[in-house]
Amino acid sequence: MTHGLTRAKRDWFAACFIAAALGLTLPAFSQDNAANNRTALIIGIGEYGYSGVPSLSGVTYDMTSAQRIAAAMGIPEKNIKTLVNAQATKENILKTLKELGSNTQPGARAFVYFSGHGTRYPDPASGGCIEGLLTYEGQTITNKELASASQQLHQNADKLITLMDACHSGGVANTFTTRSSSLNVFKPKFFLKADASANMCSQPSNMRTRGFVNETTRLGALQENVVHITSSRPDEVSFDEPGKGGLATQGLRDCLLGQAQDTDGSGAVNLTEIEQCAQNFVDNKLKNVPGLAPHHITVKGNRNLIPVIAPPPVPVMAVAPAPASVPAPPPETVPSSSAVVAVIQPNATTTAVPAVQAVSPPSATPEVPTAATKPETEPARPAPAIVRPSLASLATLKDIEQQRNPKRKVEVKLTKPALKIGKDLLDLSIQSSHEGYVYLVLLGSDSKSFYLLYPNGLDQNNKILAGQSLRIPKPEWQIKSAGPVGTNHMLVMVSDSPRKLDSLVMAAPSASEPFTYALNNFEGRSALIRFLTSSGANGASESFGAKIIAVKEVP
């Protein structure tokens, strides 16, 4: 199914392809575009006030890395709260988490980071040990306490991402201390307090702690809306590298800022791809270190979340994207390749289309504290994987769907699930549990056509009320099936806040060219993800509901 416009122009298509061939770069997520409702709490403890706790000199660098990550996530500097060393007591951390929850607007994103020592202590009630984060004065924050303090945060936030660079395996760390001179370079991020039962709590099999994601879901959070990243598994040691920071933080920082490969060509990298990239960093860092084995970065919760929509630019020339695939030509050029004809009613009243605004150049990476400098050089970003455009575009739709908030219910009904070519019109009804704005993206049965179907040049009134049944297409614009035989995939999305069309459009839509959004190349797919999943303007909610449906075309 393609739009098959009767007056489509070859020169417009050529212009789009030339732009793609030249490696047209989309603007990065700059501080100017940062979502002013996104928030972050960054905690770092390198020097402890509790007797006997080894210092972690790399934490200073972790704080800088975490702030760079927050900036890449689109969090304004004014919304980033930091707690360092003596500020990071148990009381103050839990209090600040609660305040962050109150200050985070509904539908926003939030990021919580911790770098310091992990610990364990005996729990007589369960006969085992409980793991936690070691605070400045030697107290422990358990996952249960962390989840409880952040309850308002995960209730308000559309997505909550936590990153804990600490470990909880004492026995392994103690073994390394006695046998490995490598600990002069890499320090375990674990401390077992003197009042704990060392022999008991050094055994990972005795752990009785529920994970953070489990604790948050017990308190009402949805797993799709929460991500918990840890630097190691429960039975492993994660390491601090003096002068550079935690190995997990270093790897995650670099991968979040552009080093992770887009393995499915969707136009963005999700946390599964970032985890793989960061793990490769840790493996390479420790592969030749005597006596040390790599620890494993772990992601729980929504592994399909895209934390950084558009990474900030790196000071090197990026690898050029794969050439764009050519969508089906207009009907008058090759009639057999057209699939859908837009039947434009002669008396249709069209909505004025705003002029396309010039795209601003990418802004520089936000400044970071001088306590830790950026690397002098950064390697070029890896090229996206070479994937057949139809598969890559379907991956794009799935990536967008995975960013949805399950609290937003979207129901879609097709009048006919299979359309007869040359006869049937596309007809579907949409209902949403929440008021919002409807967006439809079509991946055609020809495996080439990929368009923003609605809103379009004929109709930009895409508002829907809660419980309302909206019929698409509307009477003033109809779409008839014209092949080829196969399956179309359509993403139906209802967002709390409207998206800015001028951030996506390559050529202004009009009554004669209503669907002029050539998306089926890497830059186009990336732009679509950015367009649909970026934050609402002026602090509006980022939440949306989404559903992918299949529409068959038959002879």
Closest CA to 308 of 271, 263, 265, 282: 271
How far apart (Å, rounded) are the C-alpha atoms in residues 371 and 373?
A: 7
Tallying the residues shown for the chain, one arrives at: 555
CA–CA distance, 368 with 539 (Å, rounded to integer)? 24
Dist CA 215 CA 145 (whole Å):
9
Please calculate the CA angle 502-504-510 and round it to the nearest 5 degrees: 65
Structure confidence at residue 217 (pLDDT): 77
CA distances from 190 to 34, 85, 176, 467 (A): 35, 16, 12, 52
Domain locations in the chain? 10-25+324-373+386-554, 31-301
Q: Measured between alpha carbons, how far is 258 from 301 in angstroms, rounded to an integer? A: 22
The kind and range of the H/E element at 95 are helix 90-103
Q: In angstroms, rounded to a whole number, what is the distance separating the alpha carbons of residues 174 and 430?
A: 60
Contacts of 543 (CB under 8 A, 6+ apart): 106, 107, 158, 405, 407, 408, 495, 496
Specify whether the CB–CB gap between 26 and 309 falls below 8 A. Answer: no
Report, at the CATH architecture level, how domain 31-301 is classified. 3-Layer(aba) Sandwich (3.40)
Q: What are phi and psi of 549, to 5 degrees?
A: -125, 160
Query: In sequence order, which residues have a C-beta less than 8 Å from that of residue 23 and are 6 or more positions away?
Result: 318, 320, 321, 523
Q: How far apart are CA 367 and CA 382, in angstroms?
A: 24
CATH of domain 10-25+324-373+386-554: 2.60.40.2550
Distance between CA atoms of 128 and 4, rounded to whole angstroms?
Answer: 67
Residue 272 one-letter amino acid: T
Is residue 349 exposed (0-12), middle (13-18) or buried (19+ Cβ within 10 Å)?
exposed
**The domains spanning 10-25+324-373+386-554 and 31-301 adopt the same CATH topology:** no
Count of other CB atoms within 10 angstroms of residue 42: 24
In tens digits, the chain (555 residues) has pLDDT values of 654 433 332 332 222 322 222 222 223 334 344 557 899 999 999 999 999 999 999 999 999 999 999 999 999 999 999 999 999 999 999 999 999 999 999 999 999 999 999 998 887 777 777 889 999 999 999 999 999 999 999 999 999 999 999 986 543 334 344 344 455 578 889 888 755 455 566 654 333 445 777 777 777 778 889 999 999 988 888 999 999 999 999 999 999 999 999 999 999 999 999 999 999 999 999 998 888 889 999 999 999 999 998 643 333 333 333 444 444 433 222 233 333 433 323 333 333 333 323 333 333 333 334 444 444 445 567 777 777 878 899 999 999 999 999 999 999 999 999 999 999 999 999 999 999 999 999 999 987 888 899 998 889 999 999 999 999 999 989 999 988 999 999 999 999 999 887 767 665 666 667 775 667 888 889 989 998 997 656 678 999 999 999 999 999
3-class secondary structure, 366: coil
495, 454 Cβ separation under 8 angstroms: no
Residue 129, SS3 per DSSP: strand
Angle (nearest 5°) at CA 492 between 489 and 495: 150
> Which pLDDT score, from 0 to 100, does residue 233 have?
87
